[in-house]
Amino acid sequence: MAESMNELGPAAAGLILLGAILSLSIFADAVASRTRLPRISLLVLVGVGVAVITQLGLELPDARPLDGLGEPLIQVALVMVAFLLGGELTLERLRRTGPLILIVSLSVIGVGALAVGVGLLALGFPLALAVSLAAISVATDPAAVQETVHASGDTRLRARLLLGIVAIDDAWGILVFGLAMAALGWALSGDGQQALLEAGWELGGALLLGTAIGLPAAWLTGRLAPGEPTQVEAIALILLLAGLSTWLGVSSLLAAMVTGMLIANLSRHHTRSFNEIEHIEWPFLVFFFVLSGASVDLSRLDEAAGLTLAYILLRLVGRLLGGLLGVRLARVRQADLPRDIGLALTPQAGVAMGMALLAAEHFPAHGTALLSAVVASTLVFETFGPMLVRRVLR
């Protein structure tokens, strides 16, 4: 009995760590509600604390929390987020969104990504880092913007415009990121033809997989009774998307977004599946944020300090200039828009960190710098982003 208690196997250790992470997330929620600190930042800091204990305290630089279980949990969380984002892209919503949101959104995305990419290249950073961070910079944290706008009680055009932009912003981010990874694979490969085929498969295969799962799911959704059958359907979709996209070597984010978009547009009762996923999404996101923070290599943080600072400043400049351009282009349509509206789109969280993890897998030589820069900048953008939203609304 005593001997068995002294031996903590990997299965028991994994279960204890999962329980501890979820327990800490409850504490983080309590702290966030009392201090107004973003709970996402607190969860990432919990992960950084895990990295400090394992890498500095236990001197295990290559230790990976949850070992082989961490990667599937991260993958499932990312697929859930992308699936829900796809559900936002209904034809009815896009028609209701109108040209104004598209003009400002595309201006902020285009100018922002260009500023980050060109700026990092001009500062001498490698092409893979510059293009990856340019694509990652497109994503915005819709929850932080929505909570700040709702708390302000503002119903003017600028508030409605911000809510409309963040509803589709991360979807643009996934598309841009998929194209950027495919283009980088082609540009950095010695065999241009083979790289082009792989890039085409990563994007085209994702569209095929999303369609192959989305069409039958759209037919099935609504024909199942609400409750447990719908929950099973929703979980089955997520697991199939995560597993098949990994096996086939296609973009899991794009495949999940296509599936969500097809279900939302073709099924009359599409809200059931999305609601079930929303109910179970948060525990997986807790693991995702904590494990993302724990993946930072503390021994090489000083190498990423310059990259992190450059990325933060360039993204802020890009958002500001993109907003200026969008407002100028939209002046014919609307005059009541603040010139600095792009600064209200600076909060950045889950999708950006997921992209960083995927980019680190694509380019392992730059993985440490990339992850460190995105994790550190996420803490900054999540903390100060809501302040910029309030400033723009004022």
C-alpha 164/C-alpha 146 separation (Å) is 10
- Which candidate, 87, 385, 99, 128, places its Cα nearest to that of 256? 87
C-alpha 371/C-alpha 304 separation (Å) is 9
Confidence of residue 2 (pLDDT cuts 50, 70, 90): very low
- Which candidate, 334, 351, 326, 352, places its Cα nearest to that of 102? 326
CA distances (Å), 233 to each of 78, 191, 206, in order? 18, 42, 20
Higher per-residue pLDDT: 213 or 383:
213
Mean pLDDT within 111-129: 89
C-alpha 138/C-alpha 142 separation (Å) is 12
Confidence of residue 258 (pLDDT cuts 50, 70, 90): confident
Encode pLDDT of 27-40 as tens digits: 877 887 777 777 77
Two structure tokens written together for 361: 């897998």
Encode pLDDT of 284-307 as tens digits: 878 877 877 777 777 766 667 888
| 176, 115 contact by CB (below 8 A) | no
Confidence of residue 1 (pLDDT cuts 50, 70, 90): very low
- Which candidate, 282, 280, 276, 262, places its Cα nearest to that of 224? 276
| 238, 284 contact by CB (below 8 A) | no
Mean pLDDT within 198-217: 82
- 3-class DSSP assignment, residue 226: coil
Q: What average pLDDT does the structure give for the chain?
A: 77
Encode pLDDT of 342-380 as tens digits: 888 888 877 787 788 888 877 888 878 888 888 888 878
- 3-class DSSP assignment, residue 202: helix
Q: Is pLDDT above 60 for 340? A: yes
Higher per-residue pLDDT: 237 or 40:
237
Question: What is residue 315's predicted lDDT score, i.e. its pLDDT?
Answer: 92
Encode pLDDT of 150-180 as tens digits: 777 776 777 777 777 776 777 777 778 878 8
Q: Is pLDDT above 60 for 115? A: yes
Confidence of residue 272 (pLDDT cuts 50, 70, 90): low
Higher per-residue pLDDT: 213 or 287:
213
The torsion defined by the Cα of 371, 375, 377 and 381, in degrees rounded to 10, comes to 140
C-alpha 238/C-alpha 200 separation (Å) is 23
Q: Is pLDDT above 60 for 6? A: no
Confidence of residue 246 (pLDDT cuts 50, 70, 90): confident
Higher per-residue pLDDT: 145 or 374:
374
- 3-class DSSP assignment, residue 331: coil
pLDDT above 90 covers what percent of the chain?
3
| Helix residue ranges per DSSP H, the chain | 2-6, 10-35, 39-51, 70-87, 91-122, 127-136, 142-152, 157-188, 192-220, 228-248, 252-266, 271-294, 301-330, 350-362, 367-393
What letter does residue 124 receive in the DSSP assignment?
T
C-alpha 164/C-alpha 245 separation (Å) is 30
CATH no. of 69-393: 1.20.1530
Two structure tokens written together for 94: 């896009």
